[in-house]
């Protein structure tokens, strides 16, 4: 293959894909650029004024050429009518849960959209039609009695199953039969606990066999006092860490560190815990074996996710708040590679006005992560964008779409105005949320459809990771029907 040519003009680095024959030349116009020693400065491109598209309407991003479609609309989906005037939830907030979780099921036919941290809604991922609300998982219809922070996670192989947490239980839900199965109640092992959680941002292993949770007390402190790992297939706890035993010391910020996120690596062999900043070396993130042995420090970070490199290494991709850089760290060795120097470096006025989210879900197309941005007054090359970032030294950036979001200077939506893009496990669809420039308006989900051959066109190799098999529970547990659940 011919080598890539790189041109530098006025401090801007352009990447020109190699000249290919008509039979092999990509039909899509990839807007890519190369970072050299962290310096990556694509040209600043104006955001064109566009009317908010209708539900189901698609358009080609006029700057980056990717096909984009609006997924949700509270009125045409019929969700607004379910609220019956209640103000307990906002029916105009219909978004993927977070950048680190895949909203699609195993075969890409169904999609979970959340009402922020509340109700869950099932959509057809092909037609984008609203199917039904999933709000009786903890009893009761919208909006009288809705569960919050259920952290839904699809099974890796069974397209009809997703898992969720409620109080001290781990459950699974069948979207065809509406049957609820209590997999395990962890209150026996942790009688002080009020609920288990990953704090919304954690993931199981790629095959959904291995999980990790934090245990929290109830009122008045709601503190995390234990973390543990769990083998779903064998229905057993693997390892645990107690606050009074080997919990990290955050003195002088508070005797015990507050757990921010706990997640299992894609291969299922490591667990990554993001703590508050610690006195000892100022390391906030650590990777462990599943029994919490062999800790490896991964430094301090802001938003992050675990991803696979092209050679199948597991890396923690972070937005380093201390150094204004996106970097990746090997979760087995701690080896660090800086990828992109962020343009807000050295500009203290930008703090709190914008940020970056990272999604490393595309396990079938390793070597890339999705990065999404938002801000207020910043006018940088990545202003309100979604782009793919290559996981290697001197990486390429492929700009996907402009989000047409708007983050308020003060008041308004704030958190829900963040973009928070996520890519599915197959690397074929990218979802994000946007208020389409109206900080008082609805926040809907939008989806980009990259070319089916994008990974091969940009030099990807076939993944050597096997397709996950269904995670079986031994012994099998009896389903708990909705009518039984309400007793």
Q: What is the token pair recorded at 186? A: 């962890």
Q: Give the pairing of strands 153-154 and 120-124.
A: unpaired
- pLDDT of residue 255 exceeding 60, the answer is no
What does the pLDDT average to over 84-112? Answer: 86
Cis peptide, bond prior to residue 143, ω within 30 of zero: yes
Q: H or E segment at 205?
A: none
In the numeric block, the tokens 């007054």 are attached to: 377
Choose from 26-35, 87-96, 331-340 the range with maximum mean pLDDT: 331-340
Confidence category of residue 473, pLDDT binned at 50, 70, 90 = very low
**What is the model's pLDDT at position 247?**
78
CB 400 within 8 A of CB 427: no
The percentage of the chain sitting over the pLDDT mark of 90, rounded to a whole number, equals: 56
CA angle 147, 150, 152 (to 5 degrees): 135
CB 273 within 8 A of CB 211: no
d(CA 455, CA 118): 35
Q: How far is CA 180 from the centre of its chain?
A: 25
Round the average pLDDT of the chain to a whole number and report it: 83
CA angle 143, 121, 445 (to 5 degrees): 115
What's the DSSP call for residue 167?
T
d(CA 356, CA 303): 7
First to last CA, the chain: 66
CB 432 within 8 A of CB 386: yes
pLDDT tens sequence across 420-470: 999 999 999 999 999 999 988 899 999 999 999 999 999 976 444 444 554
pLDDT tens sequence across 257-278: 778 899 999 999 999 999 875 5
Q: What is the pTM of this model?
A: 0.88
**What is the model's pLDDT at position 21?**
41
CB 16 within 8 A of CB 33: no
d(CA 250, CA 228): 20
Listed residue (42, 72, 73, 126) closest to 371, CA to CA = 42
What does the pLDDT average to over 2-17? Answer: 38
- pLDDT of residue 221 exceeding 80, the answer is no
- pLDDT of residue 253 exceeding 60, the answer is no
**What is the model's pLDDT at position 425?**
97
CB 93 within 8 A of CB 113: no
What does the pLDDT average to over 142-155? Answer: 74
CB 317 within 8 A of CB 379: no
**What is the model's pLDDT at position 461?**
60
pLDDT tens sequence across 349-407: 554 567 889 999 999 999 999 999 987 656 678 889 999 999 999 999 999 999 999 88
Rounded alpha-carbon distances, angstroms, from residue 347 to 2, 320, 326: 40, 15, 16
Choose from 27-41, 194-208, 460-474 the range with maximum mean pLDDT: 194-208
CB 292 within 8 A of CB 239: yes
């Amino acid at each position: 293959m011919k080598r890539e040519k790189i041109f530098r003009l006025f401090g801007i680095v352009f990447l020109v894909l190699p000249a290919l024959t008509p039979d092999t030349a990509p039909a899509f116009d990839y807007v890519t650029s190369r970072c050299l020693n962290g310096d990556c400065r694509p040209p600043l491109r104006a955001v064109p004024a566009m009317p908010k598209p209708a539900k189901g309407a698609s358009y080609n991003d006029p700057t980056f050429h990717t096909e984009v479609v609006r997924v949700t609309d509270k009125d045409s989906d019929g969700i607004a009518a379910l609220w019956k005037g209640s103000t307990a939830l906002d029916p105009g907030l219909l978004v993927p849960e977070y950048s680190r979780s895949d909203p699609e099921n195993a075969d890409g036919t169904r999609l979970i959209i959340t009402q922020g941290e509340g109700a869950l809604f099932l959509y057809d991922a092909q037609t984008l039609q609203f199917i039904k609300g999933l709000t009786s998982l903890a009893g009761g219809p919208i909006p009288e009695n809705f569960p919050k922070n259920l952290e839904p996670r699809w099974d890796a192989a069974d397209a009809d199953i997703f898992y969720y947490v409620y109080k001290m239980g781990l459950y699974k839900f069948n979207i065809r039969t509406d049957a609820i199965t209590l997999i395990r109640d962890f209150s026996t092992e942790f009688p002080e606990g009020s609920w288990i959680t990953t704090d919304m941002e954690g993931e199981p292993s790629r095959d959904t066999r291995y999980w990790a949770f934090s245990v929290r007390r109830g009122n008045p402190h709601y503190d995390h006092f234990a973390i543990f790992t769990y083998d779903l297939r064998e229905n057993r706890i693997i390892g645990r860490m107690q606050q009074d035993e080997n919990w990290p010391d955050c003195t002088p910020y508070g005797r015990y560190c507050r757990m921010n996120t706990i997640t299992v690596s894609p291969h299922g062999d490591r667990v990554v815990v993001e703590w508050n900043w610690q006195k000892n070396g100022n390391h906030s993130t650590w990777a462990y074996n599943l029994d919490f042995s062999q800790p490896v420090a991964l430094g301090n970070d802001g938003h992050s996710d675990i991803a696979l490199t092209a050679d199948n290494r597991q890396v923690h991709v972070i937005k380093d708040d201390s150094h204004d850089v996106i970097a990746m760290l090997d979760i087995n060795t701690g080896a660090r590679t800086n990828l992109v120097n962020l343009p807000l470096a050295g500009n203290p006025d930008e703090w709190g006005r914008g940020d970056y989210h990272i999604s490393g879900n595309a396990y079938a197309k390793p070597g890339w992560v999705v990065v999404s941005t938002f801000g207020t007054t910043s006018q940088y090359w990545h202003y309100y964008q979604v782009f793919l970032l290559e996981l290697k030294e001197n990486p390429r950036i492929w700009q996907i779409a402009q989000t047409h979001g708007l983050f308020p200077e003060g008041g308004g939506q704030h958190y829900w105005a963040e973009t928070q893009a996520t890519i599915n496990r197959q690397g074929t669809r990218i979802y994000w949320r946007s208020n389409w420039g109206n900080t008082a308006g609805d926040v809907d989900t939008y989806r980009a459809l990259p070319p089916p051959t994008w990974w091969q066109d940009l030099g990807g190799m076939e993944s050597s990771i096997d397709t996950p098999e269904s995670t079986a529970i031994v012994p099998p547990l009896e389903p708990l029907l909705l009518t039984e659940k309400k007793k």
